[in-house]
Amino acid sequence: MKSKYSWLAPALALVLLAASCNRDKQATTETAETEEAKVPAAPSFNADSAYAYTTKQVAFGPRVPNSKAHVATGDWLVQKFKNLGLTVKEQPFEAMAFDGKMLRSRNIIAQFQPQATRRVAVFTHWDTRPFADKDDQHKNAPLDGASDGASGVGIALEMARVLASQPDSLRPNVGIDFILFDSEDYGYDGSTQSDLKNQLQAQEEQGKSSWCLGSQYWAQHLLPANYKPDYGILLDMVGAKNAKFSREQLSVEKARDIVDKVWNTAAQIGYSDYFLFQDSPGITDDHVFTNQAGVRTIDIIDHLPVGDEYFPAYHHTTQDNMSIIDKRTLKAVGQTVLQTIYAG
Ligand SMILES: [Zn+2]
């Protein structure tokens, strides 16, 4: 079931049916059904549940490294994945932010079917940006990070819940690792923070970044050791109403087949209003470093399809709160990723 043929099956069935005027329709239909039956349907992703997981994180308060809310949320996430029956590993680390602060951080890795040899990684980040520097009025205020942070984790948790509740016969044939990076969003934004000194400037010139501190640490200290999944999918800003996902440049360069697979799946199950067959410039996100670590990774990230702005207006502002979260977006992303994994 690895081949793209699986994806072609329903389309092929239509072509065959259309071309079957002077052939035996019955026989053609049966062939099509047999082929289609080989594509396992994923279980249903519950958007209410994903929404509740998103709400819960936001209710802890901004998940800014070194804060109480951050520690409490991390503890809750670890416990939640354990309660769902996954095997959880924590990767504590300290990293220096651009402003010189040492951030007490941890990556959280939750494994479903840890014994499976073939694996897929679902990456996301669980911290929130400490300041709404793109806000018109409250530039120093922390933000809820409802879409930028909590939504990706909410989808990961719901995927874990659905997967773990399947009987053996309905489980996918791969293991899945939910890898939640910390300290992704404490980076230096030259467009809004030019009055501040970026203390990591020298390092940035050597290919490091003030963003994505958790994935950079992880890429240097792979956990699980020698980790080599078939591919990875990064979820970032995946919960806002009317979100749009384009085919981001680095994703296409590194894993064109996975981009195609995800976008075609979305179209097939009715979510092409979210997953646009349109390209977007590359961005610095955790997938830069997971790709460097040898995991072919694509990024699913909310991107404005028209105009010069890369991100929608809520990005890094106090508007990124629960009022912009839409269950249908959570469903579109969660169901598409689940179905992609089930199709193999
Ligand atoms: Zn962000």
pLDDT reported for residue 215: 98
How much distance in Å is there from the Cα of 264 to the middle of ligand 1? 27
Report if residue 22 sits inside a domain.
no
| Phi, psi dihedral angles at 54 (to 5 degrees) | -70, -45
pLDDT reported for residue 39: 55
| Phi, psi dihedral angles at 103 (to 5 degrees) | -100, 120
Instruction: List the structure tokens of 200.
Output: 């990591």
How much distance in Å is there from the Cα of 194 to the middle of ligand 1? 18
Question: How many other CB atoms sit within 10 Å of the CB of residue 60?
Answer: 21
How much distance in Å is there from the Cα of 133 to the middle of ligand 1? 11
Report if residue 148 sits inside a domain.
yes
How much distance in Å is there from the Cα of 66 to the middle of ligand 1? 17
How much distance in Å is there from the Cα of 34 to the middle of ligand 1? 45
- What CATH number is attached to the domain comprising 229? 3.40.630.10
How much distance in Å is there from the Cα of 187 to the middle of ligand 1? 9
How much distance in Å is there from the Cα of 211 to the middle of ligand 1? 9
How much distance in Å is there from the Cα of 48 to the middle of ligand 1? 24
Report if residue 33 sits inside a domain.
no
pLDDT reported for residue 183: 98
Report if residue 4 sits inside a domain.
no
How much distance in Å is there from the Cα of 126 to the middle of ligand 1? 10
How much distance in Å is there from the Cα of 320 to the middle of ligand 1? 10
Report if residue 21 sits inside a domain.
no
Tell me the three state secondary structure of residue 89.
strand
Report if residue 145 sits inside a domain.
yes
How much distance in Å is there from the Cα of 6 to the middle of ligand 1? 35
pTM to 2 decimal places: 0.89
Report if residue 30 sits inside a domain.
no
Q: Provide the residue count of the chain.
A: 344
pLDDT tens, the chain, 344 aa long: 322 223 333 443 343 333 333 333 344 444 444 444 455 689 999 999 999 999 999 999 999 999 999 999 999 999 999 999 999 999 999 999 999 999 999 999 999 999 999 999 999 999 999 999 999 999 999 999 999 999 999 999 999 999 999 999 999 999 999 999 999 999 999 999 999 999 988 888 788 899 999 999 999 999 999 999 999 999 999 999 999 999 999 999 999 999 999 999 999 999 999 999 999 999 999 999 999 999 999 999 999 999 999 999 999 999 999 999 999 999 999 999 999 999 98
Q: Tokens 């659905």 identify what position?
A: 162
Question: How many other CB atoms sit within 10 Å of the CB of residue 188?
Answer: 21
Domain count, the chain: 1
Report if residue 164 sits inside a domain.
yes
How much distance in Å is there from the Cα of 173 to the middle of ligand 1? 33
How much distance in Å is there from the Cα of 130 to the middle of ligand 1? 10
Structural domain containing residue 252: 41-342
Rounded Cα–Cα distance for residues 233 and 259 (Å): 9
How far apart, in Å, are the Cα atoms of 3 and each of 7, 173, 214, 223? 8, 15, 33, 29
Q: Report every protein residue that has its C-beta within 5 angstroms of ion ligand 1.
A: 148, 185
